[in-house]
Amino acid sequence: MLAKMAADLHKPDGLTVIDDADIPGRLLDLPISDFPGIGSQMELRLKLRGIGTVEQLYRATKSQLHGAWGGIEGERMYERLRGASVPLPIQKNQTVGHSHVLPPFLRTQEKAHAVLHKLLQKAAMRLRDIGHYSGGLTVWVSYRNGVKWYDDLRFNETQDTVTLTAALNQLWRRRPWELLHAEPMQLGLVLTHLLEMRGHTLDLFEQPKHDARERLNHAVDTVNQTFGHGSVYFGGAHGVIENAPMRISFTCIPKPEIEEIDPKRERRLRPLPPKPAEAESPD
């Protein structure tokens, strides 16, 4: 947690080191809401318990934070405040999503739409990698005028990029007319209602199309994992394929072989043949 906060102190290219001796001194001037895991509701709950500053947060006992959080997460926060590496609890895959803060040259409706396509293609590849199907898509955009739009759509479970692209375009067309010329600042999407492959039943009348799309998606994933993400992509992401690169979030560490080049493939589309077993030397 402290490493993530240190990375935020001097964005975009600053390097900050927080040593044990710097705790809590380096943190005391920060607003308490800068700490991951402390949103507006949590901040209010802490204030009701007399904890409104970082100094008060640091002085709180483990049991006090347990009570504020209503469970063991408060004890985890106590340890993280002191630089401990506390593993996150292992959770079942519930959603797959990506978000991106748009640089100035991408703050148009057309470029924002293209970035969403790029994020969707990344999410679809992750979805296939974890062996799940998605039955819903949520899209959101924050604008310079302070408005945030979001919408969602349900559909038959799929992991096909073409089908998910159609869902994205449908949601994009449903934006309110007053936002059609607003300046987008940040956006994201989430694949929801995930279902493991073993629990998915194919549509009886869509089998030929499903098989063809599965071969297509597999080919695209193989090329991108062999030569680098964006080597092959669907046209909706044209012009922004170099943007929205791999990022490491607080709750999910991406797999480099999915986001970048998988070195095990040795830039080969087909796997290397197995090496012959070496003959044993006589005694």
Q: Above 80 in pLDDT, residue 257?
A: no
**CATH code for the domain defined by 96-265:** 3.30.1490.100
Q: Could you tell me where in the chain the CATH 1.10.150 domains are found?
A: 2-81
pLDDT at position 277, please?
A: 64
Confidence of residue 14 (pLDDT cuts 50, 70, 90): confident
Distance in angstroms (rounded) separating the CA atoms of residues 164 and 136? 9
pLDDT tens for each residue of 172-206? 999 999 999 999 999 999 999 999 887 777 777 88
If residue 72 lies in a helix (H) or strand (E), which one and from where to where?
A: helix 72-81
On the CB side of 109, how many CA atoms lie within 13 Å of its CA? Answer: 11
Domain spanning 2-81: which CATH class is it, in words? mainly alpha
Using CB atoms within 10 Å of the CB of residue 179, give its burial: 0 to 12 exposed, 13 to 18 middle, 19+ buried: middle
Tell me which residue of 246, 248, 254, 249 sits closest to 228, measured CA to CA: 246
Q: What is the mean pLDDT of residues 70-90?
A: 82
Please say if the pLDDT value at position 82 is more than 70.
yes
Model confidence at 103, pLDDT cuts 50, 70, 90, reads: very high
pLDDT of the residue at 84: 85
CA distances to 103, 108, 112, 168 from 182, in Å: 15, 8, 11, 19
Residue 110's pLDDT band, with cuts at 50, 70 and 90, is very high
Q: Which residue intervals of 84-234 are DSSP H helices?
A: 109-129, 161-173, 207-227
Residue bearing the bigger pLDDT, 90 or 56: 56
User: What was the pLDDT predicted at 100?
Assistant: 92
**Mean pLDDT value of segment 260-264:** 74
Of 211, 213, 146, 155, nearest in space to 182 by CA: 146
Query: Is-contact 220 162, C-beta < 8 A?
Result: no
Reported confidence tier of residue 168, pLDDT bands at 50, 70, 90? very high
Q: How far apart are CA 156 and CA 164, in angstroms?
A: 10
The residue written with tokens 């943007």 in the block is 243
Domain with CATH 3.30.1490.100 in the chain: 96-265
